[in-house]
Structures are given as C-alpha cells and as structure tokens.
Amino acid sequence: MHLCVLVFTSVQVQTAYKCACVLRDTIAPYLLRRMKADVKVSLQLPNKNEQVLFCRLTDDQRQVYQEYLDSKECHMILSGNYMV
C-alpha cells in the first residue's frame, strides 16, 4: 500500500472551490431534484400494487436459465464471493 500526501496552497484550494461553484451554478438549471413524495402528489399516482406472476418457461428459456444457474458467476454470487 502506498501513501500519497498532497499539499495544496490556499490559492489552489480557493481556485478549485470557485471552479466547483461555477460548474454547479452552470449545470443547476438542467438538474431536476425531486422527492418521491412530491412526484406522487403532483401526478396523483395510485399506490403501488405488486404482483408475482408465475409462467412456464419455453425449453429454450429453461436451458438458458439453467446455464446461468450452473455458471461460475452465479455460484460465486450465491456463496458471497462475488463483488458486483
């Protein structure tokens, strides 16, 4: 492990801060930040209704799904050894 220490002058810090502020102010009109509750109220959406539906897989779908279940990646995920 390498330790890297960066030292900035006060002028560099102030310049970087001003650049960040200019960037923030420049892109702010293009960013929409909304809370989920605000969107739901303004659109008057109904409450979410979740359903689980079961259907039969075709032979091709079953084969592809089985190949995934047998894959190295799937076994690593299920064993907790795969970082996504």
CA distance 28 to 74: 41
CA distance 46 to 23: 38
Tens-of-pLDDT digits for all 84 residues of the chain? 555 555 678 888 888 888 888 888 888 888 877 777 777 666 777 788 888 888 888 999 999 999 999 999 888 888 888 765
Distance, C-alpha 62 to centroid of its chain: 29
pLDDT confidence of residue 70: 93
Helix (H) or strand (E) holding 68: helix 59-69
**DSSP string for residues in 8-60:** --HHHHHHHHHHHHHHHHHHGGG-----HHHHHHHHTPPPP-------PPPHH
